[in-house]
Amino acid sequence: MSRIGKREIIIPENVSVNIETNKIKVNGKHGLLERELSNLLKINLKDNKILIEINKQTKQANQLHGLSRVLIQNMVTGVDKKFYKILIAEGVGYRFQVEKKLLTLNVGFTNPVKFEIPNDLEVKLESNTKIIINGIDKEKVGLFAAKIRDIRPPEPYKGKGILYDGEKIIRKVGKTGR
Protein backbone atom coordinates (compact mmCIF):
# COMPACT_ATOMS: atom_id res chain seq x y z
CA MET A 1 0.00 0.00 0.00
CA SER A 2 1.28 3.45 -0.89
CA ARG A 3 2.17 5.87 1.90
CA ILE A 4 1.16 8.81 -0.28
CA GLY A 5 -2.08 7.12 -1.30
CA LYS A 6 -3.15 6.62 2.33
CA ARG A 7 -3.19 10.37 3.01
CA GLU A 8 -6.54 12.09 2.58
CA ILE A 9 -7.11 15.11 0.35
CA ILE A 10 -8.71 18.11 2.06
CA ILE A 11 -11.07 20.04 -0.22
CA PRO A 12 -11.11 23.86 0.17
CA GLU A 13 -14.45 25.63 0.74
CA ASN A 14 -14.75 27.11 -2.76
CA VAL A 15 -14.14 23.76 -4.53
CA SER A 16 -16.82 21.15 -5.26
CA VAL A 17 -16.12 17.50 -6.11
CA ASN A 18 -18.44 15.01 -7.88
CA ILE A 19 -17.58 11.32 -7.97
CA GLU A 20 -19.29 8.84 -10.34
CA THR A 21 -17.86 5.30 -9.98
CA ASN A 22 -14.31 5.88 -11.31
CA LYS A 23 -14.77 9.37 -12.81
CA ILE A 24 -14.04 12.47 -10.74
CA LYS A 25 -15.05 16.07 -11.53
CA VAL A 26 -13.52 18.98 -9.63
CA ASN A 27 -15.07 22.44 -9.99
CA GLY A 28 -13.58 25.64 -8.57
CA LYS A 29 -13.26 29.36 -9.12
CA HIS A 30 -10.80 28.93 -12.00
CA GLY A 31 -12.64 26.19 -13.91
CA LEU A 32 -13.61 22.53 -14.15
CA LEU A 33 -11.33 19.50 -14.41
CA GLU A 34 -12.37 15.89 -14.85
CA ARG A 35 -10.40 12.67 -14.97
CA GLU A 36 -11.19 8.99 -15.26
CA LEU A 37 -9.31 6.79 -12.82
CA SER A 38 -8.68 3.05 -12.72
CA ASN A 39 -11.46 0.74 -11.56
CA LEU A 40 -8.92 -0.96 -9.28
CA LEU A 41 -9.39 1.98 -6.91
CA LYS A 42 -12.38 3.25 -4.96
CA ILE A 43 -12.79 6.98 -4.26
CA ASN A 44 -14.69 8.03 -1.13
CA LEU A 45 -15.90 11.54 -0.28
CA LYS A 46 -16.56 12.27 3.40
CA ASP A 47 -17.08 15.77 4.86
CA ASN A 48 -14.74 17.73 2.57
CA LYS A 49 -12.12 14.98 2.46
CA ILE A 50 -11.32 12.54 -0.34
CA LEU A 51 -9.91 9.13 0.55
CA ILE A 52 -8.68 6.64 -2.05
CA GLU A 53 -8.89 2.92 -1.26
CA ILE A 54 -7.73 -0.15 -3.15
CA ASN A 55 -10.49 -2.57 -4.24
CA LYS A 56 -8.26 -5.61 -4.67
CA GLN A 57 -4.63 -5.85 -3.56
CA THR A 58 -2.55 -6.22 -6.74
CA LYS A 59 0.80 -4.80 -7.77
CA GLN A 60 -0.83 -2.50 -10.34
CA ALA A 61 -3.41 -1.25 -7.82
CA ASN A 62 -0.60 -0.39 -5.38
CA GLN A 63 1.22 1.50 -8.13
CA LEU A 64 -1.88 3.48 -9.08
CA HIS A 65 -2.82 4.27 -5.47
CA GLY A 66 -0.27 7.04 -4.84
CA LEU A 67 -0.40 8.29 -8.43
CA SER A 68 -4.17 8.74 -8.36
CA ARG A 69 -4.02 10.57 -5.04
CA VAL A 70 -1.45 13.05 -6.39
CA LEU A 71 -3.42 13.56 -9.63
CA ILE A 72 -6.61 14.36 -7.67
CA GLN A 73 -4.65 16.65 -5.32
CA ASN A 74 -3.29 18.52 -8.35
CA MET A 75 -6.82 18.87 -9.75
CA VAL A 76 -8.12 20.32 -6.46
CA THR A 77 -5.15 22.70 -6.17
CA GLY A 78 -5.39 23.74 -9.85
CA VAL A 79 -9.04 24.82 -9.76
CA ASP A 80 -8.45 26.69 -6.48
CA LYS A 81 -5.07 28.30 -7.31
CA LYS A 82 -3.56 28.11 -10.79
CA PHE A 83 -0.24 26.44 -11.58
CA TYR A 84 2.48 28.38 -13.37
CA LYS A 85 5.91 27.95 -14.93
CA ILE A 86 8.33 30.77 -15.72
CA LEU A 87 10.66 30.46 -18.73
CA ILE A 88 13.64 32.73 -19.40
CA ALA A 89 15.48 33.14 -22.73
CA GLU A 90 19.23 33.60 -22.15
CA GLY A 91 21.38 34.67 -25.08
CA VAL A 92 22.05 37.58 -27.43
CA GLY A 93 18.93 38.30 -29.49
CA TYR A 94 16.85 35.58 -27.80
CA ARG A 95 13.32 36.79 -27.11
CA PHE A 96 9.66 35.82 -26.84
CA GLN A 97 6.63 37.47 -28.47
CA VAL A 98 2.96 36.79 -27.68
CA GLU A 99 0.19 37.80 -30.11
CA LYS A 100 -3.32 36.58 -29.23
CA LYS A 101 -2.97 32.77 -29.19
CA LEU A 102 0.45 32.60 -30.87
CA LEU A 103 3.82 32.43 -29.10
CA THR A 104 6.84 33.31 -31.25
CA LEU A 105 10.39 32.40 -30.20
CA ASN A 106 13.47 34.06 -31.65
CA VAL A 107 16.21 31.78 -30.36
CA GLY A 108 19.00 31.80 -32.92
CA PHE A 109 17.38 29.95 -35.81
CA THR A 110 16.97 31.54 -39.26
CA ASN A 111 13.20 31.61 -38.90
CA PRO A 112 11.28 32.31 -35.70
CA VAL A 113 9.64 29.26 -34.07
CA LYS A 114 5.87 29.64 -33.60
CA PHE A 115 3.68 27.85 -31.06
CA GLU A 116 -0.09 27.90 -30.84
CA ILE A 117 -1.10 28.46 -27.21
CA PRO A 118 -3.69 25.88 -26.02
CA ASN A 119 -7.12 27.26 -25.04
CA ASP A 120 -6.88 26.25 -21.39
CA LEU A 121 -3.46 27.88 -20.89
CA GLU A 122 -2.56 31.54 -20.55
CA VAL A 123 0.85 32.94 -21.52
CA LYS A 124 1.92 36.33 -20.14
CA LEU A 125 4.93 38.20 -21.46
CA GLU A 126 6.70 39.75 -18.47
CA SER A 127 9.61 41.04 -20.56
CA ASN A 128 11.12 40.21 -23.96
CA THR A 129 13.07 37.38 -22.36
CA LYS A 130 10.63 36.14 -19.70
CA ILE A 131 7.21 34.45 -20.01
CA ILE A 132 4.80 33.04 -17.44
CA ILE A 133 2.62 30.06 -18.41
CA ASN A 134 -0.57 29.76 -16.28
CA GLY A 135 -3.22 27.05 -16.18
CA ILE A 136 -5.39 24.89 -13.94
CA ASP A 137 -4.01 21.57 -15.21
CA LYS A 138 -0.48 21.02 -13.84
CA GLU A 139 0.28 18.37 -16.46
CA LYS A 140 -0.60 20.63 -19.42
CA VAL A 141 1.33 23.60 -17.99
CA GLY A 142 4.43 21.43 -17.51
CA LEU A 143 4.18 19.77 -20.93
CA PHE A 144 3.77 23.10 -22.75
CA ALA A 145 6.72 24.61 -20.86
CA ALA A 146 8.85 21.53 -21.60
CA LYS A 147 7.92 21.66 -25.30
CA ILE A 148 9.06 25.31 -25.48
CA ARG A 149 12.27 24.57 -23.55
CA ASP A 150 13.08 21.64 -25.89
CA ILE A 151 13.40 24.05 -28.83
CA ARG A 152 16.63 25.46 -27.37
CA PRO A 153 17.68 23.83 -24.06
CA PRO A 154 20.46 25.63 -22.17
CA GLU A 155 23.94 24.60 -23.24
CA PRO A 156 26.78 24.22 -20.70
CA TYR A 157 29.51 26.29 -22.39
CA LYS A 158 27.93 29.74 -22.77
CA GLY A 159 24.68 29.18 -20.86
CA LYS A 160 22.52 30.20 -23.82
CA GLY A 161 19.06 28.74 -24.30
CA ILE A 162 15.59 28.63 -22.76
CA LEU A 163 15.57 27.70 -19.08
CA TYR A 164 13.13 27.51 -16.19
CA ASP A 165 13.23 30.25 -13.56
CA GLY A 166 15.63 29.17 -10.81
CA GLU A 167 17.30 26.48 -12.94
CA LYS A 168 21.06 26.32 -12.47
CA ILE A 169 23.23 25.44 -15.44
CA ILE A 170 26.44 23.63 -14.61
CA ARG A 171 29.01 25.42 -16.73
CA LYS A 172 31.89 23.61 -18.41
CA VAL A 173 35.30 25.02 -19.17
CA GLY A 174 35.94 25.47 -22.89
CA LYS A 175 39.05 24.48 -24.81
CA THR A 176 42.24 26.28 -23.91
CA GLY A 177 44.43 27.53 -26.74
CA ARG A 178 48.08 26.59 -26.95
Query: What pLDDT was estimated at residue 90?
Result: 94
pTM of the predicted protein model: 0.90
State the sign of the Cα–Cα–Cα–Cα dihedral 154, 160, 164, 169: positive
The pLDDT tens digits of the residues spanning 123-132 come to 999 999 999 9
Is residue 173, in this structure, part of any structural domain at all?
no
73 and 20 inside one domain: yes
Task: Out of 48, 80, 112, pick the residue that ends a domain.
Answer: 80
121 and 67 inside one domain: no
Range of the domain at 49: 3-80
Cβ-based neighbour number of residue 90 at 10 Å = 17
Task: Out of 60, 80, 100, pick the residue that ends a domain.
Answer: 80
92 and 56 inside one domain: no
Query: What pLDDT was estimated at residue 177?
Result: 76
pLDDT along the chain (178 residues), means of 10: 84 92 92 93 91 90 92 95 96 93 94 94 95 96 97 93 94 85
59 and 94 inside one domain: no
Nearest CA-CA partner of 121 in 67, 161, 85: 85
Is residue 171, in this structure, part of any structural domain at all?
no
Residues in the chain, overall count: 178
70 and 41 inside one domain: yes
Nearest CA-CA partner of 7 in 63, 55, 50, 64: 50
> What CATH number is given to the structural domain containing 73?
3.90.930.12
Query: What pLDDT was estimated at residue 1?
Result: 61
Cβ-based neighbour number of residue 113 at 10 Å = 14
Is residue 115, in this structure, part of any structural domain at all?
yes
61 and 101 inside one domain: no
